[in-house]
C-alpha cells in the first residue's frame, strides 16, 4: 500500500506515476472514441449548481461567492437530462463530481465521472454499453487482452457479464431475505458492504440489478414488479464501478420521489437542497424513453492498471494539494 | 469522545469496558448508500482481532490507558513481577497477558507497562533487546558474509534464525518488533 507521494517539483522523478498518467490519458481517449464512434455528443454541464442532487446519502460542498446559495455538483444528471429533452438523444460527459466526507482507498472528495445517456433505450441497453465499453477500453490499454489482474483472481472482462438481482445476491452472500431486511436502510447497507460487495465480480464482472424501489430516486420501476426499480450497478473485483438505470420520465412521480428524499434528509438532520425546478419542467415537456449510466473513471483506471488505491491513478490527490 | 473520522491505525478505544487498538480501517460507501468505516480491532486484553463496521459519525469512548516505566524483577508462580523503581510499587502479569513479549523479559530489563483503568494489561519492551544464545549448531569459522541461516535458542526461550557464524554463548541484538536477529554484540 505504501506509495511515494510526489509534489509538483518532483514530477520528473516519478517515472512510474508519469507512466500511469500517460495510460490514464489513453483510457480517456479510448472512452471518447467508443462514444464518438456511435454518434454520441460530448457535452459539458455546470459544476456549480443550485441543486447538487437530492439523494439522502449524498452530501455536497457549498460554494461561497456565486450569488444565490450554490453547490458543487455530486452528479451531472439533472442538466444532462435537460439536454436530452432539448433534443440531443445520445450524450456523454467526462466531468469532475464532488461529494462531501468521502475519502478512502476508493473515494476522493473530487473525482472523475463518466456519465452517458442513450435514447431510445432502457437499462438493458445501458448494461450492454457498459460491458462493451469496459472490455474495449481495457483491451486498448492491455494489448488486446480483456483480462485484468484482480485482487483475488484474474478477471475476464469479456461480455456478457453475469447479472444477479439485489434480492438474490443478499440471499446468496448474506443468507438474508431482502423483504425481512427492508426498510431498515442501515442494515441493508451494512450487509451490502460487509457481506455482499466483497464477493461481487471476483472472477467475472457482475451487474447487481433490481434495486429496492426506495433506493432509486431517479429510476423507472419495474412494470412487472413495482417493488424494485430498473436500476443496476456493475461490480468488478468487489469494487462498485457504475450506477445506471432506465430513467424515470414521469414528472409527478419524480416530484414525489424528491419529496421522499427530502423527508429522509430532514429526518437525519441534513441540508435540504432545493429541487431543480428546470429539471422538473423538462420532464413535463417530455423526456424520451432513455437509459443512463454514471461510471467512476478513476476506479475504471484502477482496475485496468491494477492499482490498489484511487489516489494512485490521479495526478494529484487530496493529500497532494 | 472520538468519531469515525478520528479513526487511524493505533487509536485506542474502549467498547463495553474492553480496550481495543485499531489495527486497520477503511472508509466504505456504496455510491448512493450509507457511509461506514470498517475496522479491524485488537482486543488489548486478549490479543484477539475482531472486525467491526461503524456508521460514519458514530462515537467512541477513548480507552483510559496509561504507560508506566517499570523494571522486570523476577518470575514467581508463573507470574512476571514488575517494579516501579521510584515508588517500589509492584504489579504482576501472567504469561498469557505478556504474550510473545515474555521472550524479552530478561532480569532487570526496563519496559513500559500498559495500564487500563489502573490495571496492568501488558507490556511494551524496548525496540531492541540483547539476548544470549543458549543453543545453536556450531558456527563456521570465516563465514561472516551472507548466506544461509540456522535456528538459535536464546536465554529467554526465544527462537530466531541467525547467520551461520553465530556461536553458543554469544550475545545478539534482537528487534522486538519483528522478533528477529539484527546483529552480534561484541562483549
Describe the crossing of helices A297-305 and A15-36 by its angle, rounded to 10 degrees.
120
Q: Are B31 and A240 an interchain contact pair (Cβ–Cβ within 8 Å)? A: yes
- The C-alpha of A209 sits at a distance from chain B's nearest C-alpha, in angstroms, of 14
As given in the structure block, the three cell numbers for residue B82 are 514488575
Confidence label for B96 from pLDDT (cuts 50, 70 and 90) = confident
Q: Are B28 and A193 an interchain contact pair (Cβ–Cβ within 8 Å)? A: yes
Give the residue from chain A lying closest to B4, CA to CA. A101
Give the residue from chain A lying closest to B39, CA to CA. A194
Task: Determine phi and psi for A202, rounding to 5 degrees.
Answer: -80, -35
β pairing state of A70-72 and A48-49: antiparallel
Task: Determine phi and psi for A171, rounding to 5 degrees.
Answer: -65, -45
The Cα A293–Cα A231 span in angstroms is 9
Residue A197 predicted with pLDDT over 60 = yes
- Chain B residues inside the 8 Å CB shell of A106: 28
The Cα A60–Cα A72 span in angstroms is 6
Nearest CB partner across the interface for A105, out of B5, B26, B56: B26
As given in the structure block, the three cell numbers for residue A137 are 477500453
pTM of the model: 0.84
The Cα A148–Cα A236 span in angstroms is 10
Where helices occur in chain A by DSSP H, the ranges are 15-36, 77-86, 123-141, 166-174, 178-181, 185-191, 251-267, 277-286, 297-305
Q: Report chain B's mean pLDDT, rounded to a whole number.
A: 91
- CATH numbers and ranges of domains, chain A: 8-320 (3.30.930.10)
pLDDT computed for residue A2 by the predictor: 33
| Residue-wise pLDDT tens digits, A228-252 | 999 999 999 999 999 999 999 999 9
Residue A235 β-bridge partners: A206, A240
Give the side-chain half-sphere CA count within 13 A for A77: 25
pLDDT computed for residue A9 by the predictor: 44
| Residue-wise pLDDT tens digits, B70-79 | 999 999 999 9
DSSP code for A194: I
Q: Contact at 8 Å (CB) between B44 and B20?
A: yes
pLDDT computed for residue B120 by the predictor: 92
Residue B31 predicted with pLDDT over 90 = yes
Give the residue from chain A lying closest to B5, CA to CA. A101
Q: Minimal CA–CA distance to B80: which of B121, B50, B138?
A: B121
pLDDT computed for residue B143 by the predictor: 56
Tell me the DSSP string of chain B: -EEGGG--TT-EEEETTEEEEEEEEEEE--TTS--EEEEEEEETTT--EEEEEEETT-EEEEP-EEEEEEEEEEEETTEEEEE-TTT--EEEEEHHHHGGGGGG--TT-EEEEEEETTEEEEEE--SEEEEEEEEEPPPPTT--SS--EEEEEETTS-EEEEETT--TT-EEEEETTTTEEEEEEP-
pLDDT computed for residue B51 by the predictor: 95
Give the residue from chain A lying closest to B52, CA to CA. A194
- The C-alpha of A187 sits at a distance from chain B's nearest C-alpha, in angstroms, of 10
- The C-alpha of B55 sits at a distance from chain A's nearest C-alpha, in angstroms, of 8
Which whole number is the average pLDDT over B144-158? 84
- CATH numbers and ranges of domains, chain B: 2-62 (2.30.30.30), 65-124 (2.40.50.140), 128-185 (2.40.50.140)
Which residues 6+ apart lie within 8 Å of A123 measured at CB? A209, A219, A230, A231, A232, A244, A245, A246, A291
The Cα A219–Cα A211 span in angstroms is 10
| Residue of A57, A188, A216 to mutate for B, most B C-beta atoms under 10 A | A57
- The C-alpha of B24 sits at a distance from chain A's nearest C-alpha, in angstroms, of 12
Residue B23 predicted with pLDDT over 50 = yes
Q: Minimal CA–CA distance to B72: which of B116, B125, B114?
A: B125
Q: Minimal CA–CA distance to A90: which of A52, A129, A127, A51?
A: A129
| Residue-wise pLDDT tens digits, B114-124 | 999 889 999 99
- Chain B residues inside the 8 Å CB shell of A192: 30, 33
- Chain B residues inside the 8 Å CB shell of A101: 5, 35, 56
Which residues 6+ apart lie within 8 Å of A136 measured at CB? A30, A34
Residue that wins the pLDDT comparison between A9 and B37: B37
Confidence label for A7 from pLDDT (cuts 50, 70 and 90) = very low
Amino acid at each position: 500500500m505504501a506509495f511515494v507521494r510526489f509534489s509538483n517539483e518532483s514530477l520528473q522523478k516519478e517515472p512510474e506515476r508519469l507512466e500511469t498518467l500517460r495510460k490514464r490519458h489513453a483510457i480517456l481517449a479510448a472512452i471518447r472514441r467508443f462514444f464518438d464512434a456511435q454518434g454520441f455528443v460530448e457535452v459539458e454541464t455546470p459544476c456549480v449548481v443550485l441543486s447538487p442532487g437530492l439523494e439522502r446519502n449524498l452530501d455536497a460542498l457549498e460554494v461561497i461567492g456565486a450569488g444565490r446559495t450554490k453547490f458543487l455538483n455530486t452528479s451531472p444528471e439533472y442538466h444532462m437530462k435537460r439536454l436530452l429533452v432539448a433534443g440531443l438523444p445520445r450524450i456523454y460527459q467526462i466531468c469532475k463530481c464532488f461529494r462531501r466526507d468521502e475519502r478512502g482507498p476508493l473515494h476522493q472528495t473530487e473525482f472523475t465521472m463518466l456519465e452517458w445517456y442513450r435514447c431510445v433505450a432502457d437499462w438493458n441497453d445501458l448494461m450492454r454499453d457498459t460491458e462493451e465499453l469496459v472490455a474495449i477500453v481495457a483491451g486498448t490499454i492491455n494489448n488486446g487482452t480483456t483480462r485484468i489482474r484482480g485482487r483475488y483472481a484474474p478477471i475476464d472482462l469479456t461480455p456478457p457479464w453475469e447479472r444477479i438481482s439485489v434480492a438474490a445476491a443478499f440471499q446468496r452472500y448474506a443468507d438474508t431475505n431482502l423483504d425481512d431486511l427492508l426498510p431498515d436502510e442501515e442494515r441493508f447497507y451494512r450487509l451490502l458492504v460487509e457481506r455482499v460487495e466483497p464477493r461481487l465480480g471476483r472472477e467475472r464482472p457482475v451487474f447487481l440489478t433490481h434495486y429496492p424501489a426506495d433506493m432509486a430516486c431517479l429510476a423507472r420501476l419495474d412494470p412487472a414488479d413495482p417493488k424494485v426499480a430498473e436500476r443496476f450497478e456493475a461490480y468488478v473485483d468487489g469494487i462498485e464501478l457504475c450506477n445506471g438505470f432506465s430513467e424515470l420520465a414521469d414528472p409527478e412521480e419524480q416530484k414525489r420521489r424528491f419529496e421522499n428524499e427530502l423527508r429522509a434528509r430532514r429526518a437525519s438532520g441534513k441540508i435540504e437542497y432545493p429541487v431543480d425546478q428546470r429539471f422538473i419542467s423538462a420532464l413535463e415537456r417530455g423526456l424520451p424513453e432513455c437509459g443512463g449510466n454514471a461510471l467512476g473513471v478513476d476506479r475504471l483506471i484502477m482496475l485496468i492498471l491494477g492499482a490498489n488505491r484511487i489516489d494512485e491513478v490521479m495526478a494529484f490527490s487530496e493529500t497532494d494539494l | 469522545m472520538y468519531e469515525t473520522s478520528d479513526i487511524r491505525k493505533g487509536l485506542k478505544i474502549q467498547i463495553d469496558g474492553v480496550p481495543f487498538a485499531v489495527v486497520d480501517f477503511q472508509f466504505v460507501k456504496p455510491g448512493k448508500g450509507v457511509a461506514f468505516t470498517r475496522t479491524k480491532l485488537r482486543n488489548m486484553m486478549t490479543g484477539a482481532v475482531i472486525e467491526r463496521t461503524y456508521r460514519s459519525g458514530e462515537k467512541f469512548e477513548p480507552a483510559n490507558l496509561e504507560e508506566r516505566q517499570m523494571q522486570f524483577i523476577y518470575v514467581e508462580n508463573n507470574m512476571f513481577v514488575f517494579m516501579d523503581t521510584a515508588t517500589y510499587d509492584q504489579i504482576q502479569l501472567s504469561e498469557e497477558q505478556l504474550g510473545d513479549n515474555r521472550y524479552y523479559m530478561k532480569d532487570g530489563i526496563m519496559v513500559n507497562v500498559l495500564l487500563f483503568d489502573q490495571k496492568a494489561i501488558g507490556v511494551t519492551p524496548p525496540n531492541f533487546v540483547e539476548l544470549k544464545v543458549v543453543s545453536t549448531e556450531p558456527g563456521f569459522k570465516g563465514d561472516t558474509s551472507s548466506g544461509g541461516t540456522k535456528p538459535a535458542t536464546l536465554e529467554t526461550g526465544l527462537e530466531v534464525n541467525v547467520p551461520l557464524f553465530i556461536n553458543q554463548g554469544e550475545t545478539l541484538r534482537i528487534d522486538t518488533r519483528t522478533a528477529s536477529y539484527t546483529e552480534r554484540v561484541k562483549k
